[in-house]
Amino acid sequence: MALNGNSTNSVTVDAPGQTANDGTGIVELDGYLDPFKDALRSRYSKTQQWLKKIDEAEGGLEKFTRGYELFGFHVQDNGDVLYREWAPNALRAYLIGDFNNWDRDATPMEKNEFGVFEVTVPGKGGQPTIPHDSKLKVSFVVPNDQARQERIPAWITRVTQDINVSPVYDARFWNPPKEAKYVFKNKRPPKPVSARIYEAHVGIASPEQKVATYKEFTQNILPRIKNLGYNVIQLMAIMEHAYYASFGYQINSFFAASSRYGLPDELKELIDTAHGMGITVLLDVVHSHASKNVLDGLNMFDNSDHLYFHEGAKGRHELWDSRLFNYASHEVLRFLLSNLRFWMEEYNFDGFRFDGVTSMLYKHHGIGTGFSGGYHEYFGPGVDEEGVVYLMLANEMLHRLYPDCITIAEDVSGMPGLCVNLSLGGIGFDYRLAMAVPDLYIKWLKEKEDIDWDMGSLVFTLTNRRHGEKTIAYAESHDQALVGDKTLLFWLCDAEMYTNMSIISEETPVISRGLALHKLIRLITHGLGGEGYLNFIGNEFGHPEWLDFPREGNGNSFQYARRQFNLVDDPLLRYKFLNDFDSKMQWTEEKYGWLHSPQAYISLKNESDKVIVFERAGLLWIFNFHPSNSFTDYRVGVEQEGTYRIVVSTDSKDFGGHGHVDESTRFFTTPFAWNDRKNFVQVYIPARTAIVLAIESTL
């Protein structure tokens, strides 16, 4: 069978025989990997060594990854509170807080031979003497000058910030009474066969200029997501981050759900409610780096440079100004793998989108590096094998313990085997993000006239993915919406979005083009681009402007840190058309399932006509990207004979089109070979229009 590499290469291999069990089984899927067998064996062998070591020293992955039950705060049945913390460089440690009037010497901790400090705070009358939600810290005596330093406990599950008092976070002893604790009502939904992902940020999920809440998201946004037809939500900026404008990417407390949006139980209610709607919920997890904050982060936790991170320059990300984990450390593995387990167990998340995977895979972190697709780039000295092995362990643990878990990798490099099982020598993700697709659209909108759009290049970019490794396609994500860039519709329409989006005013050429291309871009990305689809919150209706969080540079304004759902809810504005079209795409995919169908057969890429035709999931997809030419009786090849009807038309007046396509038309195949297909149909396809046809009997 022919199998595609990351570049334009393809290779034919014989039917697999006995698969190697040394991490080189993947070579049978892609013969171009044969020269790199040693590197494949090495990373696989190191992963197996870790699994063996964890089995022998910790009683297995299941036990090892429950570190949150060992470290941090735990209330015993008699009301005693047990607290443990790993800080080998500290000489002495004390627990301080509201409960002991911040007396630095009142509650000393014992240190064992592994550098773990422990203390039991006796309860009283069966109740903890540490009050629920009270503040506390760990106070260390450190070497050299024997100085004291206070830190936020590393495994703390709730931290809060009073920005009016100080930007530094406070740790909280989160121990609500049993009767007040949230109890999940709904089971996790089954793993979706087609992943239609709604990427969302709770804080911006309101038209109001404020930080929105978990409760508001549950009440106002979940019903929208369900009605649109998305079956997966990817929640960003949940792990507590020191700086709101970091978009959630400077984590300081890995086990704490951001208190900006509300209480921990309100996040649980959000996830539980989504599950009740049949929606899978993923966490955007950041294990690629950590905030360099000292007072309320992991940096210099026990006054050493190298507790959780690499020492010196190796432990610093020069571009992100953050700290880099030491993935070869036993205790760091416990911390990070347990972190994944914690979010699965405590909050009932269904999986993760791993941020910054490229930074984890390479010693250069992708900085100043372009990836040509040459395989030497994926296995040479630039690869960080420790990071690769950590990701292999993380995926193995998650999929072993949670068979329906979904993991997605954000990797720009195209690392082979990223979405292949560990048993074959792969890294084990379920999906990778098609990061080249949105880059193409933005580049063309900035640099090319519509008539110069290259149909072959568009098709290549949408289909250039590794065989057997599932890809999430998207036209734009949060990356394309950030300040300095613009949403696709803003690139298309710009200032006219403020003046000409009303249906009361006449449609201008700019708005007509913008609406048409917004739909075409999304539809072809959905149909051709991958085995999953992603949309960023608000972009389904063509959200205007960019995304910019309150910061000093903009006068701490919330003007662009919100989603203006009022625009789509206004029946007099054209945003509703794009929203309704987006919903049409999702629900049509739910019916026909093209995302979990084999890749499309592309029968036509006509550069002069700007027409693309392909078949997928039994549907016939016809796109005319020409800015001015419409085609009557345009002959289109199709393999399956029969009578076809339109199931999606971007020209429908319901979606802001012009209604030139008669959607009641029945298309009859003619048994005459055309474009290497056994039959053809003839269609009317106006300029900047797409239609999707289905066999009449499936309607």
- Residue 410 bears catalytic tag: yes
Q: Which residue in the block uniquely carries the two structure tokens 């379920």?
A: 430
Tell me which long-range contacts 588-591 makes (C-beta under 8 A, separation of at least 24): 588/647, 588/648, 588/692, 589/194, 589/196, 589/229, 589/526, 589/533, 590/194, 590/196, 590/229, 590/231
**232/278 Cα distance (integer angstroms):** 9
Using an 8 Å Cβ cutoff, are 515 and 587 in contact? no
Task: Supply φ then ψ for residue 463, to 5 degrees.
Answer: -110, -5
Using an 8 Å Cβ cutoff, are 321 and 375 in contact? no
- Residue 548 bears catalytic tag: no
DSSP per-residue letters across 80-91: -EEEEEE-TT-S
3-state helix, strand, coil in the chain (%, to 5): 35, 25, 45
Q: Tokens in use for 347?
A: 């909050």
Active-site annotation holder among 265, 272, 302, 410 = 410
Using an 8 Å Cβ cutoff, are 259 and 240 in contact? yes
Q: How distant is the alpha carbon of residue 226 from its chain centre? A: 19
The CA angle 100-101-102, to the nearest 5 degrees, is 90
Q: Tokens in use for 494?
A: 């710009």
DSSP per-residue letters across 587-628: HHHHHH-GGGSPPPEEEEEETTTTEEEEEETTEEEEEE--SS
Q: Which residue in the block uniquely carries the two structure tokens 């036990």?
A: 63
Active-site annotation holder among 272, 355, 386, 589 = 355
Q: Tokens in use for 634?
A: 């345009």
Annotated catalytic residues are: 355, 410
